[in-house]
Amino acid sequence: MSDDLEDFDDIPRPPDPEFDPVAGFALPIPGLSDEQRERIIGEARNLAARGLTREAVCNWICREVALVVGGPNGFDAYDEQGNIIDPPYVAAARKEITSRAGRKRQIARNGSVEAWRQRCRELTTRGISKKTVFKRALFAIQVMHQRAAGEVAIFPEGFDGLPMLYGRDGKSPPKDTKRLWARLFD
C-alpha cells in the first residue's frame, strides 16, 4: 500500500488559483462587462505585485465588483455549493454604494429647494407677503404632483419652470409645512 502512495508524490500539484476563491466567484458575475472584468483583474494583479496580501486583494476585488455592478442587489456571487457569498467587505461596499446614491439625491434635493427659495425671495421683493407666497408655493407643489400623476391642473402664477419638490419619502409632496417654510424663507 505504501508503494501506491509513493507513486502519487511524482504527480505535480495543480497551481494555486491566482486569487482567493471568493474573488474567483465574484469575478464571473453577469453584471460585469468583459472590459470591466479585465480592468479589475489587471488592477488586482498590480496590487498583488506590490505586496498586498491575498486576502486584501480578494477584499478589494469584491468591493470593486460590488461598486461597478452597483445597487444593493447588484452583487450576487455564489460558492461551489450554490450559497450566496456576502462577506463583510461586500456589505461595506454595498453601504458605500447606497451612501453615494443618497448623497447624489440630497444634492439634487438641495438644488431644487434653492431654486424654490430664490423664486420665493423674488416674489417677496415684488411686495407679495411671505404668507401669500407660501400658500401659492404649496399650491404649485400640489399642482406639479397632480400633473405628474396625469391630472389636468392650472399652475399658479410665478412658479412655472421650477423643479419638483418631494417630501421625506422622496415620492409625495412635502407634508411638513413648518419645515418647508423654514427651508424656503429662513
**Span 158-179, pLDDT tens digits:** 888 888 888 877 778 888 889 8
Residues spanned by the domain of 165? 105-185
Contact of 66 with 36, CB cutoff 8 Å: no
Domain assignment of residue 174, yes or no: yes
Domain assignment of residue 99, yes or no: no
Lowest mean pLDDT among 12-16, 37-41, 139-143: 12-16
Mean pLDDT on 122-140:
91
Q: Which amino acid is at 34?
A: D
Q: Which amino acid is at 5?
A: L
Task: Judge if 125 and 166 occupy the same domain.
Answer: yes
pTM of the model: 0.48
The kind and range of the H/E element at 77 are strand 77-78
Report phi then psi at 42, rounded to 5. Answer: -60, -45
As for how many domains the chain has, the answer is 2
Domain assignment of residue 97, yes or no: no
Contact of 79 with 25, CB cutoff 8 Å: yes
